[in-house]
Chains A and B, each alone.
Chain A
Amino acid sequence: MIAVGIDSGSQNTKGVAWEDGRVLARAIRPTAFETNGAAAAVYRTLLAELKKPAAAAVVSTGAGRKSIEFADGEINEIRSAVRGARFAAPGARLIIDLGAEACRVIKLHADGQVDSYEVNDKCASGVGTFIETMARALQVTMEDMGPLSLKSTRIVPMNAQCVVFAESEVVSLIHQKESKEDIACAIHTGVSNRINSMVRRVGIVDGIVLIGGTVLNTGLAKCLRDAFGREAVVPEKAQYISALGAALYAAELAGGKG
Chain B
Amino acid sequence: MDYWRWTESAWKDPDVPDWRGAMVTAGVDIGSTSTQAVILLDGKLYAYANMRTGSNSPNSALEAMNRAMEGTGLTLEDLRFTVGTGYGRVNVPFAHKSVTEITCHARGANYLYGPTVRTILDMGGQDCKAIGCDAKGAVTSFMMNDKCAAGTGRGMEVIANLLAVPVEEIGPLSLSIDGEPEPVSSVCVIFAKTAATGLMRAGWSKEKVLAAYCLAMAIRVVRLLERNGVEEDFAITGGIAKNSGVVRRIERLLGITALKTDLDTQIAGALGGALIAGDLLRKRQASGKG
Contact = CB atoms under 8 A, between A and B. Distances in A.
A162 B191 contact: no
A176 to B, nearest CB: 11
Nearest to B146: A165
A124 B158 CA distance: 14
A119 interface: no
B172 interface: no
Q: How large is the interface on A (under 10, 10 to 19, 20 to 34, 35 or more residues)?
A: 10 to 19
B158 A164 contact: yes
Interface of B: 55, 126, 147-149, 154-155, 158, 186-191, 194, 197-198, 201
B126 A122 contact: no
Given A133-B190, A163-B189, 7 more contacts: A33-B201, A101-B194, A163-B190, A164-B154, A164-B155, A164-B189, A165-B149
Interface in A4-47: 10, 33
Interface of A: 10, 33, 101, 122-124, 129, 133, 161-165, 175
Nearest to A163: B190
B190 A129 contact: yes
Contact of B147 (A33, A161, A175): A161
Contacts of A123: 148, 187-188
B198 A162 contact: no
B188 A124 contact: yes
Contacts of A10: 194
A159 to B, nearest CB: 10
Contacts of B149: 162-165
Contacts of A133: 190
Nearest to A159: B147
Contacts of B198: 33
23 contacts: A33-B197, A33-B198, A101-B191, A101-B194, A122-B186, A122-B187, A122-B191, A123-B148, A124-B188, A124-B189, A124-B190, A133-B190, A161-B147, A161-B148, A162-B149, A163-B149, A163-B189, A163-B190, A164-B154, A164-B155, A164-B189, A164-B190, A165-B126
